[in-house]
Chain A
Amino acid sequence: QKEVEQDPGPLSVPEGAIVSLNCTYSNSAFQYFMWYRQYSRKGPELLMYTYSSGNKEDGRFTAQVDKSSKYISLFIRDSQPSDSATYLCAMSGGSNYKLTFGKGTLLTVNP
């Protein structure tokens, strides 16, 4: 079992739709949870950062963490064509400094 599982998609939605992206994980030591967005031919950029369980909202983006279920989500409201990218979940915890990534979900928002 991989430490982090993420459905690779692809996911295609119409402009204005609500998008839900998810990851599950197996390592109970993970306490820090991040979502990165990666446009084609670019490096990943940090979108959301949360610690432990709970919700965090930033504009059209909401990140949720449920540590009891080992499940994290990213919601995008009123999706725009500019949101078309690969979304990567990442997590870390314990005494090391590395991030463990999901494989990423390719999202296309159609005008």
Chain B
Amino acid sequence: KAGVTQTPRYLIKTRGQQVTLSCSPISGHRSVSWYQQTPGQGLQFLFEYFSETQRNKGNFPGRFSGRQFSNSRSEMNVSTLELGDSALYLCASSTGTVAGANVLTFGAGSRLTVL
């Protein structure tokens, strides 16, 4: 069974640019979650999508957005990049059918560096 696939794995951008990250979940998983991981803050929840609808959202500014397609693949976008957006962005998938018991399977992450 293929795991969660994230692309690209590494990318470098400059301040003010925008970036789009892609995530393909495990086959059959309808929920996709996104997390930002930094050394100072650890893993912070960005948002979660289920059947193309955003079901949960974390405390990030509106520059961070996402979407999910009918095949459950998801993308997240960060506009007007800031230096502080440098982080590992992790995508995770799950069946998403039992509230409170959402066991996540993570991808390897997309490492974003903002210069």
List residues of A whose CB falls within 8 A of some B CB: 29, 31-32, 34, 36, 41-46, 49, 51, 88, 92-104
Would you call A98 and B56 a contact (CB within 8 A)?
yes
8 Å CB interface, B58-109 against A = 58, 90, 92, 94, 96, 99-109
Summed over the interface, the residue pairs from A and B with CB atoms below 8 Å come to a total of 71
CB within 8 Å for A95 and B100 given contacts A43-B106, A101-B42, A103-B42: yes
Interface size bucket, B side? 20 to 34
A98 partner, pick from B42, B48, B106, B107, beta carbons under 8 A = B48
Closest chain A residue to B6, Cβ basis: A43
Instruction: Tell me whether A92 and B102 are in contact in the complex, defined as CB-CB below 8 angstroms, given that A97-B56, A98-B48, A99-B45 are known contacts.
Output: yes
Q: Which residues of A contact B31 (CB under 8 A)?
A: 97
Given known A-B contacts A97-B50, A97-B102, A43 and B109 have beta carbons under 8 A apart: yes
Contacts of A31 on B, CB cut-off 8 Å?
Answer: 100-101
B105 partner, pick from A41, A46, A95, beta carbons under 8 A: A46
